[in-house]
Each structure stands twice: as structure tokens, then as C-alpha cells.
Structure 1
Amino acid sequence: MTIPVSRSRILLVDDEAEILVALTDLLEDEFDILSSTDPLEALNFLRQSPDIAVIVSDQRMPNMTGDVLLSKAREISDARGILLTGYADLAAVVAALNQGRIQFYAHKPWESDSLRAMVREVAAHHRLERALKTERVLLHGAMQALPLGLVFTDPQGHVLRHNLSCQEAHDAAAGATGYRDEAGLYPAALASQIVAMREETAKEGESTRLVCEETQDGPRWHDIIRRALPWPCTAAGEALPVAQRWQLSLDRDVTERIAMEAHLRQDDKMHALGTLAGGIAHDFNNLLTAMLGSLELLQDMTPRSDPTVSRLFDNALDSARRGTVLTRRLLEFGRPKPVALRPVSLVDLVWSMRDLINQSLNRPSDLKGETARCTLDLSQVPHDLDVPPVLSDSGQLEMALLNLCINARDAMPQGGPITVTLAAGDAASDEGCVMLSVADVGSGMPPEIARRIFEPFFTTKGLGSGTGLGLSTIYGFLKRSGGDIRVETAPGVGTRMTLILPACRNDVPEDAPGPADTQARTGKLRILLADDEPGVRLVTEQFLAQSGHEVVGVPDGKDVIAALSRGERFDLVVLDLLMPGMGGRECGQALALSHPGLPVLYVSGYADPDNLPADAFILGKPFTPQDLREAIAATLRGRH
């Protein structure tokens, strides 16, 4: 759209009023006119009217000559000057022209058409200057205000304009040698990419790349778009070939967007993992429950005289328990386990785990069979070390420490020391925290690997070794409990993992008293058990029978309703949450209406506990006889 050109404003200055009248009659059809017989008044007009485009001034005036007026006018206005003079003033005209004070001059008496043409051309020149100045101001403002790095170059990469903040740019602005090639504006990590994009743009007309720059503050991502401009043109106004055009490079910092996208991808991955875990965990935990329960029952029934049999039982039970740990670790991504925050003495925790860690360090590794001997160094954690207790979940913290020590072992196939260090935070960022570090002298990790070690299922171990869930589980636990983890590593140097844990405040209560004695007699109970898996039902019946209870087992929630409808009396109902007919949740809701005083214990391999009564107790599969006894005791306490 073409913007209509407004009438230019002209300032006429002459000490003779008749001259001003004649000039006004000549020019007022095309221009807005201001006039004055006093040069000082004319200067005030210029100060008050910045839109004046042309000054037409007589040279000889009593108070101030025309060339002096135009010289002073240039200090306060961008108006262009035309000087009216007689032949005797030719020297003043030449001096004014040389100083750039006037654009034209005319003799008195003037030729009307010629003078009108002069004023018209000067006004047009002024409009063009104003337009160029406006474009320049707008471009400068846009380049400074836009959150983009803009660089204009010629086809050879010589910088025409830019808004990048860099030391080279400051040096050039200060008058240093500066740079010509645009690569000097960019860090070394980006310079080669910029050159490649310039060559690609010269062929294709545009180029787009997402480039990562490693900085001291971490990776910085650049979304760079480069295009060939339709300029310069040929003499006929046609665009030059793409290879000969100027180019524009736009560099947008998208680090936050990349981080957000990574976070969203991580959330999607966790959601998919939770869905996957929910689909397989129920059946898998049913199998583990049947296996573990049967092994424990057989172990109790088998004489211990043969040590080989005992070792085989222990081996089978240990393998099944490892499967239990793996399943529960997997499920934590679908529904993270809530942390039970209590004051924990890290000194006591580390020393209480010494024997367990030592045993784990010198067991066969999952990587390459037998490993050389690793030694645990606790010299930095003396028994009398004065560090405050931390607010954490002792069980999950123990698992985190054990996992880090095992990872350190696997990083040192030739053996070596694993050093555990404990210290209170002293840096500003770590105040109010305690640092628990595990360091090895193993192979270490390059930055691209270290950035990914907390991703679920990412592992540096070989195929079939390691699940890739250990460090991601630790990371999730620490984030949920207000802590963090720091990684220091380099290839060939080793790795130090530091858990940053919040120190305990003085107003945090000590651990609450433990649960009531689960071994206390609950008396002989008549229990109705519903589980669709025959193997699980058999094992659970045997566990209950060992505790002296009478058990009636059924495969479905409808059978529970039917048994109670026949008038059979039970002291407790044990319901599996997921059953193909009537599930435990639906059955429990029906029992709450028909038998509101009847205690119900829910058992689940993996199920959503929502919509269950607030006081409902859920026992997770697989479980031990002791777990089952504790769950029954807790359920009965909740009803009394």
C-alpha cells in the first residue's frame, strides 16, 4: 500500500515583506508556507516546527546574513536550504555550498518556474532523507529490540550490519581492527556452521539448522535461519542470481524451548512407561508371589541337612527377590513411591551398610563375570563426624547409596578404591544441605554420556547388563524429597556422584514410634480370600494357615458376595484388586453397603488405589508371610 505524500512545509525569510508576499503567491498552491522578515524569529519557527522541509532565505538581511542563518538552522533542523542572492553575493554562495549549508541558490529577480522547480526538488530530497532516516531508525530499533541475532552480509560473508553482542563487535565499534568475515562474530563452535549455511544459502536460497553450543553454563541451542535477500538488483531492477545476493542470518536462542520439549518428552515417556508397567506388572507380580511363596513354604518343609539344597533354595529365592526389586523399580515411574521423610543420621546409615556394600562390591559383576577386588574407603566418614541429620527416606536413601557403589564397582573392572565422603555444605548454593559422595577411579564419562545417565533405560553397560533404571530412580527420589544430585566426571579420570540432601531443621520431629507388634496374637480368624490366580491363592492360603487361620478361597468377587449371602460368617475378607469378573474394588464397595462392619484387606500387583475407602489397607504383591501378618494386623486395627 502506498502512503500518500503530504504537503511539505516551507519557511520563507526575507527582510522585505513584498518579497515574502511574492514568494508566497508563487509557492502556496503546492506547499504550506511560514514566513518571517526576522532571521531570529525564523530560527524560533524552526525550533517549534520540526516538520519544515525547505528554507528559502535572502542573503542580505540587516540582523543576519542568509548563509549564517542557514548554518545555524542546520544545528536545530534537517530542513534543506535555498539561498536568494544578487551577483555581488556570489562569494558567500560559494562558501555556503562548500560548507554544505545550501542545496541550491537563485538570483534576484528569480525566474518563477525555475525557482518553483528548485523548491519542488529540494522538498522531494528532504522527504527522501526523512524516509531513509525513518527506515534506518526503525531498522536499528528492530535490531536492538528483537530477541534475535541478526546479521546482514554480502555474498562473500562480509558483515554489513549486525546486532550481536560479542567482544569483536565492541572492539570494532571502539576503532580496533575489527573483522570483515561474519564468522568472527560467532563462537568457534558456531563459526563452521555459519560458513556452511552461507554456502548452502548461495545455492538454495535459504538454510535452516538447529545448532548446539557447549558453554560453561551448559548446552545452549541456536535455531539459525538464513535467507538470500532480493537485493542488490541489476541496473534494470531485476534481482541478481541467488549466489550474488546479500544474505540475512537470524539466530534465535531456543535453549528454554529445547529444555521444555525435553521435559515434555520425559513426561510422555514416563506416562508410556506407567501404562506399560500397569499392563504387565499385575501378571508378573502374581507369578513372583506364587514363586516366592512356594519356595518359602518348601524351604520350611525341607530338612536343612543337605547344604546343597539350602544353597539352591537361597539362590532361587534371591533371584525371585531381585525380580521383585526390578518390578517395583519399574513401577515407580508409573506411580512414584511416596517418600517418608524422617531425620536420618548419614554417619550411622553409611556405617550400618558397610558389610552389605562390601559383599556387593566383590560379588560377580553383571558386566564381565568376576571383577578384580574393589575396596570401600570410609576414612572420610569417621564415627564421630559432626554433620547434621538429613530429612530423607532412610530406605530409599540406602538403596541409592548401594546403587552408586555398585555403579562405581562396574566402572572399575580392574578393581580399585571406592571412596565415600560426607560433608556439610559450605557454598552459598549448598547451605543447609549435607553432601554424600561416592567416587571411583574408573573409566569416567564424556559430557554427551554424562548428560543422559538419569534418563530411564539409558545405560552404558553392555546388552543384557543393567536396566538403566537405577540412576533415574535415584534422581526421582531425590527430587521428590527436596534433594539433588551432582555429577563430576571425565574420561580416564573417574566419576564422583554427590547426593545433596536437605539438612534437618530443629523443629522436625523424630521418627514416630514403630507400628504395634505385628506378632501380637489376633486370634484364630475365619478369612474369605478372593484371587483369580490359583497359584497365588494357594500360596496365600498356606501363609494364612501357618498363622492358624481358617481360610476359604474363591476365584472371583461374585463368589465373595454369594458366600456372604448364604449366611457364612467371616472375620476378614482378602480381595485381589484386579480380577476378570468382579474386581476387588467393586466387591469392596458392595460389602461396604451389605456388611459395613466387615474388615477388608486389598491385595494388588499393580492397580490404581483411587476410589477405595480412606482407611483401606493395600498389600502389594509379592509379599512374605510377615508382610501378610502385618497387613492383617493393620487392617483389623483400622476397624477398632
Structure 2
Amino acid sequence: MNTLPDTAERPVVLVVDDEPEILVALTDLLDQAYHVLAASSGEEGLALLRQNPDVAVIISDQRMPGMTGDVFFAHARELSGAGAILLTGYADISAVEAALNRGQISFFAYKPWDDETLLSMVGQAADRYRLENELARERLLLRGLLENLPFGLGFKDHNGSFIRLNQQMAREFNRSVADCLGQQEDDLVDGTRLESLRQAQSDLVASGRDQQVLQLPGPDGQSRWHDLTRVRLDTLRNEPVRAHTLSAYSILIDRDVTELLSLEQRLQQAQKMQAIGTLAGGIAHDFNNLLTAILGSLELVQDLEPPKEAATSRLYQNAMQAARRGAVLTRRLLDFSRPRHLVCQQVDVAEMLEHLRDFLMRGKVPDDIRGELDAERFKPGSGWERVSFELPDIALPPVWTDATQLQLAVLNQCLNALEAQPQGDSACVVSVRLADKLLGRHLGGEHASAWVVVQIRDHGAGMTEEQRARIFEPFFTTKDVGQGNGLGLSMTYSFISHCGGEVRVEGIPGGGTAVELWFPAMARGKGLEQPAQPPLPARKVLSVQDDPASADWEQDTVKESGEGRVPARALSTPVTQDMARVLPAAAEGRIILVVDDEPGVRAVTAGFLRRAGYAVLESSSGMDALEAVQQHADIALVVMDVKMPGMNGGEAARHIHTRRPELPVLFVTGYADFGLLPEGVAVLHKPYTRDALLGDVRAMLAA
């Protein structure tokens, strides 16, 4: 008979007896398998218990002076849950029975004891103490888990009544835990939730599991999405539960998945916008090549033989204007795909909004913003007095963004808000705040939990779920035909995304709309990745003359942005019959290499340059350009397309500069993919006019 415990660690046994010989005998008997503590009185035994809370078994004599064994165990129960064995004589049987009845002892043995029997009692008491400790630990862990779960959890008995549930679940029922215990779920819910419970019963009976995702009203009146899962416990076992009542026990899990669904929708939105942007960029590249060929060919025709009849001249001008409007629309579509005009720097958002408020109050909006939004929007009576600002008294951390684009984004959303409300309503409110976190976004380090949020809210008609799912798509608009092109929010979305931020829109039909622009905060003096590079001097594209009448046709200026030198906008001059024969002076001896894989674009570019008096060589690929540069040492300038099959313009330029580092290269592109280009290069965007091209060429040759 094995009477020793099956434990890796030696349990602690406390022996209490007033006779030294008994203490020695018990210590010798137990010392092989247990760590033994000895006390000669009840008082001393209690003191050892206080010092050693891990005692597993207590063996005590009944007859001791001062404190008898049963009295000692009564006090010991207040200090320890150790197994208790009372050693007694026949005369003390009544005290032993009382101690057993009160639960103070587990076993008793008569003196003199049998060694095997006593060792068996100690082993059983030690095992029971270990199991009770493990059970208590598991209960503590499970209770801690139950109360700290980020979702509601409840357990039901075979009658469907709650026997356990956490605070989160009780809050979903708008009751306390005590009020929910013993109640059935259908007594605690109503409406949509009660209907879902009744629908779940058949699935629970058939498969033992039911899961539903429901939209339920929250405590604040806002709807929240809940994932309700009900499972019968017997379905979690590999073998059937023997007890019939236990087989009907079940659990209820209630997860608020509103933010999770929102995060999933934002991920899908980001993927959709990325796909649309890629598609827009590819289409714009090809379309800009067509527009370049069309516009250039029309200009060359004008140079060769201007229309003589008035009707023909009008048709010619209509064609030119239509092509130019197509170029403007394509540029805006490209800005959605990849904003070209960002000049990112540290921006104090509250200070920027304060300046914007002052602009609107005085009616003096900067020209660059006025031009972007249409000057008609700022005439008296336009409704800007209905825009109010709520700015914080405390300083907010700066953000890394383009201040002008941020102002445009705010004003665009204010315009949307003004148009979404009747004239007499309290209009829109612009506010800014600091947020602790943005769910689903992590920037790491100091930027992980600090966000500056600009909110534009109104009390207009709001949006439906279907409208909100499409608001960032290019050309989607809720306005009437002719009142908007649907690019405002999509441009804002693209701009904010390129600044590392996010746009959130909340709208309830009939309850208004709130547009929030989230920017990751930054430490003063630091960018999110690296500080802004020193600005390069802007290089103005030369034109024949300035003509304000051509405000709808935008040409290029080069300025610095977060992605290198990119084009900004300046007004150029439309071609007129009087100007058709005004050409620059000839430039004999200056050879220019034109590189473009599109024959129509290459022919137009070469035609512009030849009409200006330059000698022109043409290449249809990057490899051909390398050979031409190697064969013709007198090439003074290369005008090269960026996106070409095989070797793109950036790669070709790098190879050219290994042979001739001093040779200038003017890049032309219909798609703003600056990742293909070295930093600090000159870029001319398709479609370009003759004057824009020649202005850049003259400037680069003069430099």
C-alpha cells in the first residue's frame, strides 16, 4: 500500500503535541515525504500557521494543557484551509465527534496510532488540500476572466435561467448582476433582441449553436452592432454529458462589434480607393497623352494655317477649350490618385482655423484658396456668416500636413454643410480637439495615442447608409445635377490619407452630418518620419503673356512638396489667332533630344521645338535615348517621358547622367508617379501647351 503523496514538492505538515516524544516520533514518521513543522502547544501552533500559510496538513493531539485540540482546530480554521487530523484517546470521543460535526477536522486516529493508517490519512488530507487550492485558484482566475472580458458573457441552467453573468452582460440588460441572476433571458429583453432570441431557439435545438449580428440601440440612443452567440455546453464535449440536467446548460456571448465592423469597412474603403486611384492614374496617363497630342496638334495647325472664317475659328476655339477642360478634370482626378501639390510642414491646426475664421469674418480669403473654391462662393450673402468655430483654450500638438490643403478641405466641407441645410437653420460648426486614440491605427512610439481631430458638423438632412458607403468615391454626389462634381470628399480623403490621417463621416437621415479629419499628432520640431527638406526655389514657367481671361486653363509652376519637386499652378495664355504666329527666336546649334514612346506626343513635342528653331532628335524608348546621347555629344537638353515600357524615364536619366552628369533632363508625365524620379528634378505635366514647354526649355538651357 502506497501511503506517500504523488507530488513533486514536499507538502508542509504541522505537528502539535505537548509531549516531546510524540513530536519526535511523528517527525521521524513524516520526514521522508513531508516538510515537518513542530509545535508543543496550541498557541505555538497558531503562531506557526500565521508564519507559514502554505501548511497542507495539521496533526494535533486532543489533550494538551491550556488549549485542547478541538479548540486549537477551531482557531486554526480561521487561518488555514489545511487538512486536519486529531490524535485522541477513547475518553475524548465526544470532543472528537463535536469537532467532526463542526467541520474542524477531516480525520482522527487513536493513540497509539498505526503508521500506515496515519500516513494514508496525511496523504489523503494533503491531496485534498492541493485539489481545493487548485479549485480555488481556477475559480479566482475564471472570476477574474469573467469580470474583465471586453464583452458580455452569461451562463444559463437547464431551465434557461442565468446562474452566472458578468457586469458587461448585465449592462446590456440595463440591470445589475443580482437582478439578472435567476431570470430568463426573455424576461430581460424586448423588441429586436427578444425576436432574435425566439429565432435562435430552433437552431439551438437542431445544432446546439446560434449566431446573429443585430443592430441594437445603445444607452446613449446611438445604434450599435452586436454579435450574439448562444451555445449549448454539451456541444463543446467529445462525449455526451451523463447528467441530463447538465446537457441543457448553455452560454450567451454578446460582443459589441461596432468598431470592428467600422474598421473592416474602412479597410475595404481604403482598398477600394487605392484600386480606384490606381485605375484613375492609369487612365489619366493615357488620356493625358491623347490630350497632349490633340492640343499640340491644334496649336501646330494654328501656327501653320490659322482659320480664316469666323465659324471655323469658333469651332477651333471650342475644340481647344474642351480639351483644356478635359485636362483640368484629369488633373483633379490625378490629385485624387496622388496629390501633386502637397507642401507638408508643421501646422498648428487651432491657429490655422483661427486665421481661417478671421479670413471669413473680414471677407478676405487668400487668393490661392479663393481660386480653388471659385470666387463666386465668397460674395456677400454666400452664407459664410453661418459658420462658427469652437477652438480650444489649451495648446494642441502640431500635425504634419499642408496648411493650404487643410484649409481647402475645411472650407469644402463647410460649403457642403451650408448647402445641406435650409438658409434659416443654425449652420455648421468647425471644432478641433485632441483624441487619445484612433481604433485600428497604430503609428508607434510617441504618435501611438495622440490625434488631432478637426470636426465639421451640421444639422442638415444627413445621409443614408447607402450614401455614406459611397461618399468618398470620385464623382459621387448627393447634390442635384449641375450643383457639384463629386470630387470634394474624395479629394479630402486622398489628401488626409497622404498625410497619414483618416476621414470619418457620421450621418443620420434627418439628424445632420459630422465630418472628422484625423491627423496623427507630432512632437514639436519633429515630423512623422523626417523633417521637411529645405525648399527649392520655385521656377516659373515662361509664357507669352499673362491673360486673366484664361482662368479655366491651368499650367505649371514647379515647387517643393513632401515628394520632391512637383508642379503647382499658374495661369497661361490660350492660343488666339493674333498670337498664332508669335514664335520665339531661333536657337541654332542647340540640339534637343525628345524621348517618348507615344508617336503622337513625340511628334507634337518635336514639332513645337522645331518651330521654335531648335534641332531635334527623337527616341521612342529609354534604350534608344542612351544610344543617342552616346552618339551625339552636342545634345544640350533631353525632354523625356516618365512612364515608358522597358526602361522608364527615371532609370534612363540615371544612366545618361553616368555618361554626361551636366546634361539637363526635363521630365514630362501624364501621371504623377514621383517614385520613379530622382529628387529635385524638373517636371512638366501633360497635357502641356507650346508656351509651357518652350518656357521650361529656355529656363533649363539658360541655367
Please report the TM-score for the alignment, with normalisation by the length of structure 2. 0.64
Q: 2:586 aligns with which of 524, 527, 542?
A: 524
Q: Does 1:280 align with 2:298?
A: no
Paired residues of 2:542 and 2:692 also in contact (CA < 8 A): no
Question: CA deviation digits over 1:581-605, x for unaligned, max 9?
Answer: 8764565456546665544322122
Could you tell me how far 1:339 is from its partner in structure 2? 0.6
- Distance, in Å, in 2 between the alignment partners of 1:429 and 1:26 is 68
- Distance, in Å, in 1 between the alignment partners of 2:199 and 2:125 is 42
Show the 5 A alignment for 1:7-18: 11=14, 13-15=16-18
Across the two proteins, how many residue pairs are aligned to each other? 606
Gaps of 5+ in 1: 362-374, 383-389
Show the 5 A alignment for 1:308-387: 310=314, 316-317=319-320, 319-332=322-335, 334-340=337-343, 346=356, 347=359, 348-349=364-365, 376-380=382-386
Could you tell me how far 1:62 is from its partner in structure 2? 2.5
- Distance, in Å, in 1 between the alignment partners of 2:91 and 2:629 is 130
What is the RMSD computed on CA atoms of the aligned residues?
6.1
Where 1:42 maps in the other structure, the secondary structure is helix
Out of 460-469 and 569-578, give the one that drifted further: 460-469
Q: 2:471 aligns with which of 453, 456, 463?
A: 453
Could you tell me how far 1:23 is from its partner in structure 2? 7.6
2:693 counterpart letter in structure 1: L
Give the equivalent residue in structure 2 for 1:127.
Answer: 127
Give the equivalent residue in structure 1 for 2:600.
Answer: 535
- Distance, in Å, in 2 between the alignment partners of 1:279 and 1:33 is 83
2:247 counterpart letter in structure 1: Q
Give the equivalent residue in structure 1 for 2:292.
Answer: 289
1:445 counterpart letter in structure 2: M
Question: CA deviation digits over 1:137-165, x for unaligned, max 9?
Answer: 23422552575655443344433344544
Could you tell me how far 1:614 is from its partner in structure 2? 4.8
Could you tell me how far 1:135 is from its partner in structure 2? 2.3
2:289 counterpart letter in structure 1: N
Name the CA shift for 1:224/1:134 in 2 (closer, same or farther; >3 Å): farther
Could you tell me how far 1:76 is from its partner in structure 2? 1.9
Give the equivalent residue in structure 2 for 1:4.
Answer: 6
Could you tell me how far 1:331 is from its partner in structure 2? 3.5
Show the 5 A alignment for 1:382-393: none
- Distance, in Å, in 1 between the alignment partners of 2:681 and 2:56 is 87
Give the equivalent residue in structure 2 for 1:554.
Answer: 618
- Distance, in Å, in 2 between the alignment partners of 1:143 and 1:21 is 44
Could you tell me how far 1:444 is from its partner in structure 2? 1.7
Name the CA shift for 1:319/1:401 in 2 (closer, same or farther; >3 Å): farther
Could you tell me how far 1:632 is from its partner in structure 2? 2.3
- Distance, in Å, in 1 between the alignment partners of 2:289 and 2:326 is 12
Show the 5 A alignment for 1:214-233: 227-230=231-234
Give the equivalent residue in structure 2 for 1:444.
Answer: 462
Name the CA shift for 1:591/1:66 in 2 (closer, same or farther; >3 Å): closer
Show the 5 A alignment for 1:7-46: 11=14, 13-15=16-18, 37-46=40-49
Could you tell me how far 1:131 is from its partner in structure 2? 0.9
Give the equivalent residue in structure 2 for 1:247.
Answer: 250
- Distance, in Å, in 1 between the alignment partners of 2:681 and 2:126 is 86
Give the equivalent residue in structure 2 for 1:602.
Answer: 667
- Distance, in Å, in 2 between the alignment partners of 1:450 and 1:360 is 28
2:162 counterpart letter in structure 1: V
Give the equivalent residue in structure 1 for 2:641.
Answer: 576
Give the equivalent residue in structure 1 for 2:65.
Answer: 62
Could you tell me how far 1:358 is from its partner in structure 2? 7.3
Paired residues of 1:203 and 1:242 also in contact (CA < 8 A): no
Where 1:518 maps in the other structure, the secondary structure is coil
Paired residues of 1:533 and 1:555 also in contact (CA < 8 A): no
1:42 counterpart letter in structure 2: G
Where 1:529 maps in the other structure, the secondary structure is strand
Name the CA shift for 1:91/1:427 in 2 (closer, same or farther; >3 Å): same
Q: Which structure carries more relative contact order (alpha carbon 8 Å, separation 6+)? A: 2
Question: CA deviation digits over 1:350-409, x for unaligned, max 9?
Answer: 788779867988xxxxxxxxxxxxx83133579xxxxxxx99758756864785477569
- Distance, in Å, in 2 between the alignment partners of 1:442 and 1:552 is 60
Q: Does 1:620 align with 2:685?
A: yes
Could you tell me how far 1:52 is from its partner in structure 2? 4.5
- Distance, in Å, in 2 between the alignment partners of 1:39 and 1:186 is 57
Could you tell me how far 1:283 is from its partner in structure 2? 1.9
Paired residues of 2:629 and 2:656 also in contact (CA < 8 A): no
Name the CA shift for 1:133/1:189 in 2 (closer, same or farther; >3 Å): farther
- Distance, in Å, in 2 between the alignment partners of 1:158 and 1:198 is 15
- Distance, in Å, in 2 between the alignment partners of 1:463 and 1:131 is 76
- Distance, in Å, in 2 between the alignment partners of 1:419 and 1:313 is 49
Give the equivalent residue in structure 2 for 1:475.
Answer: 493
Where 1:603 maps in the other structure, the secondary structure is strand
Paired residues of 2:340 and 2:672 also in contact (CA < 8 A): no
Name the CA shift for 1:621/1:352 in 2 (closer, same or farther; >3 Å): closer
- Distance, in Å, in 1 between the alignment partners of 2:236 and 2:267 is 44
Could you tell me how far 1:83 is from its partner in structure 2? 4.6
Paired residues of 1:599 and 1:635 also in contact (CA < 8 A): yes
- Distance, in Å, in 1 between the alignment partners of 2:317 and 2:414 is 24
Name the CA shift for 1:219/1:621 in 2 (closer, same or farther; >3 Å): farther
- Distance, in Å, in 1 between the alignment partners of 2:678 and 2:372 is 40
Gaps of 5+ in 2: 389-398, 437-449, 526-531, 545-582
- Distance, in Å, in 2 between the alignment partners of 1:352 and 1:31 is 88
Where 2:81 maps in the other structure, the secondary structure is coil
Percent identity, aligned pairs only, is: 39
- Distance, in Å, in 2 between the alignment partners of 1:238 and 1:11 is 41
1:136 counterpart letter in structure 2: A
Name the CA shift for 1:202/1:156 in 2 (closer, same or farther; >3 Å): farther
Question: CA deviation digits over 1:66-111, x for unaligned, max 9?
Answer: 32112112122223445555676566455444533334566x677x
2:494 counterpart letter in structure 1: G
Could you tell me how far 1:552 is from its partner in structure 2? 3.8
Name the CA shift for 1:281/1:105 in 2 (closer, same or farther; >3 Å): same
Could you tell me how far 1:537 is from its partner in structure 2? 3.8
- Distance, in Å, in 1 between the alignment partners of 2:698 and 2:249 is 81
